[in-house]
Structure 1
Amino acid sequence: MKVMISGKGGSGRSTMTTMLAKSLVSFSVHCDMRAVPSVREVRR
Structure 2
Amino acid sequence: MAFWKMAYNLKWVTADQLRLAVVTESNPYGEITVEEYKLITGKIY
TM-score (norm 2): 0.32
Per residue, is there more helix in 1 or in 2? 1
Q: Which has the higher contact order (CA 8 A, sep 6+)?
A: 2
